[in-house]
Amino acid sequence: MLKKRLVGVVTVRHGWAVQSFGYNRHLPIGRPECLVENLDRWGADEILVQAIDRSKGEMGPDFDMLARVGKLGLETPLIYAGGIATEEHATRAIQLGADRICVDYALHHATDEVRKMSARLGAQAIIGAVPINFSQGLRRLDYVTQQERPFGDVIPGLISQRVISELVLIDWKHDGGETHLTPEQLDPLPIPQVPLILFGGFSDPTTTRRFYQHPAVAAVAVGNLFTYREHAYQMYKREVESDLIRPAAYVGASTSKEF
């Protein structure tokens, strides 16, 4: 059986890794490549590096930061998100070391470019992301304008056309806290069958275990929690206590062992 994944997230703002709270407060904590290197050493299933300030003002991807990360010689698959709006952006990100790229703003503001990315790199390399809120029906947040809008049919259309291979659902209001999502809310989502990555407020391993049991969930992503202490990733995995994920493992210089 294909194991589900625990994704370690490194959030970057103005070139620095930060802890993020509710999409409006950010605490700088160091160089992104240091956190990425830790997650790689701790045996993460996958790493997502998201540069959250790059879509605003159309700054484009943070290629300098990605190049530094790409030189680390990671054994862990790497996802890059942030400022990707064109086919050329996506291709360059892959060339610099990303295994896959994740797009949010471009899904609705550069939809044709997302299709071009998929045609060139393959759908498996393209992940969609959408910040959502269920408080007044299903709504999505436009990160650049900071306005909530109806979920719409753009993302369902891209999934139906097999332009993107996975979708990140972000509980943005509870980013850095405790998610208010429930597994039951995933069933009536207006999207075709697509593997889901859940992010935003998954600080409780017990909650994560419950979501892993949902057939649509392929991965859960966690950010802030993994920056507090050494081996936080493995400790979290142990507390999840699920046969649906790989056991916690420490990856040293040349060996791997169970934690």
pTM for this model (two decimals): 0.93
In this prediction, what percent of the chain has a pLDDT beyond 90? 79
pLDDT digits over 204-237, tens only? 999 999 999 999 999 999 999 998 788 899 999 9
Specify whether the CB–CB gap between 115 and 107 falls below 8 A: no
Domains and CATH numbers, the chain: 5-247 (3.20.20.70)
Q: What is the arithmetic mean of pLDDT over 72-100?
A: 97
Within 8 A by CB and 6+ apart from 49, the residues are: 9, 10, 12, 32, 36, 65, 66, 69, 78, 79, 80, 81, 82
pLDDT of residue 140 exceeding 50, the answer is: yes
Residue 250: pLDDT band (50, 70, 90) is low
Helical axes 32-41 vs 63-70, angle rounded to 10° = 30
DSSP state of 4: B
Within 8 A by CB and 6+ apart from 172, the residues are: 22, 23, 131, 132, 133, 141, 200
* DSSP-derived 3-state class of residue 102: strand
